[in-house]
Amino acid sequence: MKRSIYFVSESTGITAKKVGQSLLSQFDGLEFDSHYVPFLDTPDKALALAQRLGEERLERGVRPIVFATLVDKLLRQILKQCACLYIELFDAFIDPLSAELGIQPTGRTGVTHGQRDQGRYDARIDAIHFAMANDDGIRLDKFDEADVILIGVSRSGKTPTCLYLAMNFGLRAANYPLTTDDFDRDDIPFQLLPFRHKIVGLTIDPVRLHRVREERRPGSTYSSLEQCQREVAAAMRIMARLNVSVLDSTSRSIEELASHIVEVPVGGAG
Amino acid sequence: MKRSIYFVSESTGITAKKVGQSLLSQFDGLEFDSHYVPFLDTPDKALALAQRLGEERLERGVRPIVFATLVDKLLRQILKQCACLYIELFDAFIDPLSAELGIQPTGRTGVTHGQRDQGRYDARIDAIHFAMANDDGIRLDKFDEADVILIGVSRSGKTPTCLYLAMNFGLRAANYPLTTDDFDRDDIPFQLLPFRHKIVGLTIDPVRLHRVREERRPGSTYSSLEQCQREVAAAMRIMARLNVSVLDSTSRSIEELASHIVEVPVGGAG
């Protein structure tokens, strides 16, 4: 029987889920039933969960595992005492941090993924709208307002990466798709040229691109391996001449691409 | 002088950054210089960082704080020995988990935010493209393929929430903006009616909406307080009659809205 996993928090539970999943990914060959329990913010809710954990323990013969980021001591106590392995993800680090910083923690919940820093939150939402409005070369007159501009062939990962950059780093990310027009003139549009320093190119293995495009338009010229090979080669020529950084999206997730794009070199300025 | 904070990882460093920021948000009134150091995956890079940390320690008179998710023991050792408070976010939990699960950890890096689970990764990317293609009522013929459909007035938070749901939960989220046409007929379009069970309404305080819209189109009828009040009231009437769940986006972040939307009730089915 699969073991039950619970991600529990007084607020969104996003951190508990991400960290818990990261930890579990270190153990191979196991399957889990995952349960996501955000907004567990009253003793009643904690008691209801404790009862459910007890029942699962009996049914499955193994303890459920709870990954939690609970601040309230009573809520924690309720879950710690029941039939589960309770892993509190924040608690162990608060004391050493408090000692180092010389101040007491606030014990406030829901700070991480809330709107507490309204200015920064608004900037993120703005960046998302910017990415939507400047996706896929829809318009060519706002590149001056972009923090970064991704170029690459259709389905090389530009759009999801731009949205990720906006959502998680608050960057205003535009993107421009390289198509026949660009390949014919062997260059990007003149509107883009002044912003070459902000451009990052995305490339992708033609075979993988072929497979991705086949999903979208099976049997089309657009998705044929030949067309994919030709486009990728032409795009690489343009990027090489522009002398822009190029990232390969073939086996990189959008998180990895975004991290490379915002990366500060270790030896670089602070 | 501000204290320096470093988020360090062999891969994207996204978990180190998020957890580190969560922990620091428990301490009020301090300002930090944050540095993001992903892809620290060789002893040379670790030594370069250690040297920089030592220099900062001397310059600022306080130790930098390093939040890390390093798997490699040598890399850890290099940073632990230098002039910083080194907080390893995963290590403390791996042993109890290993004991509970009865297996050894793999020690593999870059699993969390990579493409290891290709099927799930592709589904997320698909969901992002779906959200883009079904944003803002662009098309009304794909609601059958949606997992969730958000409705609400312009700038009530539909688009960013849909993108967040797609990106982080792999949900296919469409959205439809309630406008004059809907208010005149006092209903949603007939194409939406069969999918009422998938609809979630977003509402927002008219004063906040007024401020948000003013940023976008200052002095317009669209952004006037009166218009905002009228639209929100009309939207609420439609949502009430449809009997759909309604979430208030006034003081909720997109993370909080998304968590409410996907939340599994504690007493609900597993």
Residue whose tokens read 């989220």: B173
A159 by DSSP, 3-state: which?
Answer: helix
Q: Is the pLDDT of residue B158 over 80?
A: yes
* Nearest of B151, B131, B138 to residue B249 by alpha carbon: B151
Contact B258, B202 (CB under 8 A): no
Instruction: Quote ipTM for the complex.
Output: 0.86
User: A160 vs B167: CB contact, 8 Å cut-off?
Assistant: yes
Chain A residues in contact with B132 by the CB 8 A cut-off are: 132, 135, 159
Contacts of B111 in chain A (CB under 8 A): 22, 25-26
Task: Tell me the sheet residues that pair with B87.
Answer: B67
Q: By percentage, how much of chain A surpasses pLDDT 90?
A: 80
Query: Would you say residue B114 has pLDDT above 80?
Result: no
Residue appearing with tokens 């296919």: B172
Cβ contacts (< 8 Å) between A262 and chain B: which residues? 36
**Mean pLDDT by groups of 10 residues along chain A of 270 residues:** 92 90 89 93 96 94 95 93 93 91 85 74 93 94 96 97 95 97 96 96 98 94 97 98 96 93 55
A-chain residues within 8 Å CB-CB of B97? 23-24, 26-27, 65, 85, 87
Residue B39 and residue A100: Cβ atoms within 8 Å?
Answer: no
Residue of A nearest to B3 (CA): A101
* pLDDT digit string, tens, across residues A213-239: 999 899 999 999 999 999 999 999 999
pLDDT in tens, A75-127: 999 999 998 999 999 888 999 999 999 999 988 876 667 766 788 899 999 99
| Interface-testing mutation among B11, B93, B121, B205, with chain A (most A C-beta atoms within 10 A) | B93
DSSP for B198-263 reads GEEEEE--HHHHHHHHHHHSTT-TTT-HHHHHHHHHHHHHHHHHHT-EEEE-SS--HHHHHHHHHP
The whole-number pLDDT of residue A270 equals 32
User: Which among A23, A24, A112 is the nearest to B25, CB-wise?
Assistant: A112
Chain A residue with the nearest C-alpha to that of B103: A27
Q: Which residues contact A170 (CB under 8 A, 6 or more apart)?
A: A120, A123, A124, A127
Query: In chain A, helix, strand, coil percent, each to 5?
Result: 50, 15, 35
Closest chain A CA to residue B33: A270
pLDDT band at B268 (very low <50, low <70, confident <90, very high): very low
Question: Cα angle at A250 between A245 and A253, to 5 degrees?
Answer: 85
* Residue from B112, B118, B155, B168 whose CB has the most chain A CBs within 10 Å, to mutate: B112
Q: φ, ψ for residue A231 (rounded to 5)? A: -65, -45
B23, B90, B258: residue with CB nearest A22: B90
Q: What pTM did the predictor assign?
A: 0.87
Nearest-CB residue to B259 (from A12, A98, A164): A12
